Chain A
């Protein structure tokens, strides 16, 4: 089935493309931020700076 978007196709396609782009940027930002924070925590642990509890900062119970 070929979808017909009529004379305003550019408005519809731009709306969906913009939504997809913003969602992808949000996901990318959150994933990269997670990697950055876990990497920094591992660097601290390697240099001997640990939490008072002695647990790894990236660990979960």
Chain B
């Protein structure tokens, strides 16, 4: 099955119907293994047991940017290739991305209080992630504000691509500015600086959360396709009612003319 085949929403629905149970099962298995490994991971020599917060904070932080990346590619699909499902993919991903970004902010804050002595600091990393969260909310508001899906899609696609500028700012904020947030310790030149006892649960949780995103995203895309079918059927019903009313009034007009002529 090619990408062009998937442009047909009916085929896409069939594919998601087959894939979703397998994806859900793989997600549950990986997250269960990841949670077990996180629970049994040793305490860090500096952070103590609070290192366990990292096993959910870091995957959510990665996904907050990954989801915007997916939405940016989908936005290119909307504006450049006009793929029928590109706008569906972007719209369905936004609430999920917002949820992951919220969790990254919340868990980071809960880690920061015991480790930094504060829940929040207006440093470059934290502020740029907060902006990302607000952009997710703004996009969701935009989609709700415009009734016509194709008009909303183009405006949202432009906003998403402009917002993608924030992604490298988030990633490199810890290098470009002097921040309280620590620099990258997993994805960096020279390999990860994490010990295997922390790296393995972190990667398992990251893959588990990524599978969770893929599962939820496909399910949300299926809902969006069905929502658009509901909308088109509503419009079809409204046009039938309008036509039948026009038909009745024109018949009444001709009857009154005939009566007048008589």
Is B227 among interface residues, defined by CB-CB distance under 8 A?
Answer: yes
Assembled-state Cα–Cα distance A4/B95 (Å):
35
**Chain B 125-153: CB-based contact to A (< 8 A → 1; otherwise 0):** 00000000000000000000000000000
Instruction: Report, as a range, how many residues of chain B touch the other chain.
Output: 35 or more
Assembled-state Cα–Cα distance A14/B106 (Å):
10
Question: Does the CB pair B226–A38 fall under 8 Å?
Answer: yes
Residue numbers in A under 8 Å from B99 (CB-CB): 22-23, 25-26
Residue numbers in B under 8 Å from A27 (CB-CB): 216
Chain A: minimal CB distance from B178 (Å): 26
Assembled-state Cα–Cα distance A14/B11 (Å):
42
Is B184 among interface residues, defined by CB-CB distance under 8 A?
Answer: no
Residue numbers in A under 8 Å from B114 (CB-CB): 7-8, 11
Contact among B48, B107, B230 with A37 in the assembled complex (CB-CB below 8 Å): B230
Chain A's closest residue to B240 (CB) is A49
Q: Which B residues from 212 to 254 make CB contacts under 8 A with A? A: 212, 216, 219-220, 222-223, 226-227, 229-230, 232-234, 236-237, 240
Assembled-state Cα–Cα distance A3/B42 (Å):
10
**Chain A 9-29: CB-based contact to B (< 8 A → 1; otherwise 0):** 101101110110011011101
Question: Does the CB pair B53–A15 fall under 8 Å?
Answer: yes
Residue numbers in A under 8 Å from B29 (CB-CB): none
